[in-house]
């Protein structure tokens, strides 16, 4: 091989390497900084952008959003909840956090009624308080399979409602109302459209991410999204009118 041929091969190799690097950077940027596309065997799906009907906390003008589809009876969701709370405390001024109901009622007998409990509490302005309480007391109300959903309400949820200062009579009426059931079903419809098959499932800027295994993994994904120049794919107008609560 002549010196000229070796030089041509060397130049071609550098050119190919540069193309590969540019392609990887472009793929990373188009994912909003998410690591989802680089996880073997994982195909990210999209979910609907945040609207005024969503339950959100954090800064409504944040460029980054994190949506969780969860089930209050799901043990895995209960285990993830402390991590999500830590993220909210750390990123609350930079990330808008949203929770959408995705009760796996086929396998969790109290999943639907617990989702309805948060929506009933929401009608009295205590959504996040009931949300947090159901997760912190999950082992208390979710372990007795011999109870009916009505039993869980009377034995546990009414007491939780009272502790939050709710009108328990109104809570009892609202929890099984058509409006509350429709609200839960609306979230379920969005989750089904996003092809969710487990809880919790997380989306950053409307793009699904593989479930992080630690707080550091969550932080890596959120920091990457924050560093991205693309910002949130959600409509700023929709996010600004989302139901936000700071606590």
What would the pLDDT profile of 105-126 be if each residue is shown by its tens digit? 999 999 999 999 999 999 999 9
Q: Model confidence over 62-97: pLDDT tens digits?
A: 999 999 999 999 999 999 999 999 999 999 899 999
DSSP H helical ranges for the chain: 3-30, 75-91, 111-122, 127-136, 138-141, 149-152, 158-163, 168-174, 178-193, 215-227, 236-240
DSSP H helical ranges for 154-212: 158-163, 168-174, 178-193
Matching CATH number, 55-244, of 3.40.640.10, 3.40.30.10, 3.40.50.2300, 3.90.1300.10: 3.40.30.10
**How far apart, in whole angstroms, are the C-alpha atoms of residue 223 and residue 227?**
6
**The pLDDT of residue 164 is above 50:** yes
> Residue 65 forms beta bridges with which residues?
96
What does pLDDT average to over the chain?
84
**The pLDDT of residue 9 is above 90:** no
**How far apart, in whole angstroms, are the C-alpha atoms of residue 69 and residue 199?**
6
Assess contact for 127 and 118: CB atoms under 8 A.
yes
Count CB-CB contacts under 10 A for residue 247: 8
Mean pLDDT score, 9-36: 39
User: In the chain, what are the domain boundaries?
Assistant: 3-30, 55-244
Q: Model confidence over 180-208: pLDDT tens digits?
A: 999 999 999 999 999 999 999 999 999 99
Mean pLDDT score, 34-40: 47
Residue 36: what pLDDT? 40
Question: What are the angstrom distances between the C-alpha of 84 and each of 17, 63, 177, 216?
Answer: 39, 18, 30, 12
């Amino acid at each position: 091989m002549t010196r000229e041929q070796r030089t041509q091969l060397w130049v071609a190799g550098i050119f190919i390497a540069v193309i590969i690097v540019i392609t990887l950077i472009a793929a990373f940027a188009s994912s909003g900084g998410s690591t989802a596309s680089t996880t073997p065997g994982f195909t990210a799906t999209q979910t609907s952008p945040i609207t005024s009907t969503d339950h959100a906390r954090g800064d409504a003008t944040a460029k980054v959003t994190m949506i969780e589809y969860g089930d209050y009876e799901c043990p895995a969701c209960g285990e993830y909840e402390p991590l999500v709370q830590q993220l909210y405390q750390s990123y609350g001024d930079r990330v808008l956090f949203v929770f959408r109901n995705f009760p796996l009622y086929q396998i969790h007998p109290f999943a639907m009624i617990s989702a309805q409990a948060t929506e009933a509490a929401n009608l009295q302005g205590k959504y996040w308080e009931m949300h947090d309480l159901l997760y912190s007391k999950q082992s208390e109300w979710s372990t007795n399979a011999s109870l009916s959903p009505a039993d869980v309400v009377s034995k546990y949820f009414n007491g939780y409602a009272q502790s939050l200062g709710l009108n328990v009579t109104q809570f009892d009426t609202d929890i099984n109302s058509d409006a509350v059931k429709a609200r839960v079903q609306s979230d379920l419809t969005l989750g089904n459209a996003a092809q969710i098959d487990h809880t919790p499932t997380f989306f950053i800027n409307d793009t699904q991410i593989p479930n992080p295994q630690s707080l550091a993994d969550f932080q890596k994904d959120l920091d990457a999204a924050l560093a991205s120049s693309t910002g949130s794919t959600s409509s700023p107008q929709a996010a600004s009118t989302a139901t936000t609560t700071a606590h």
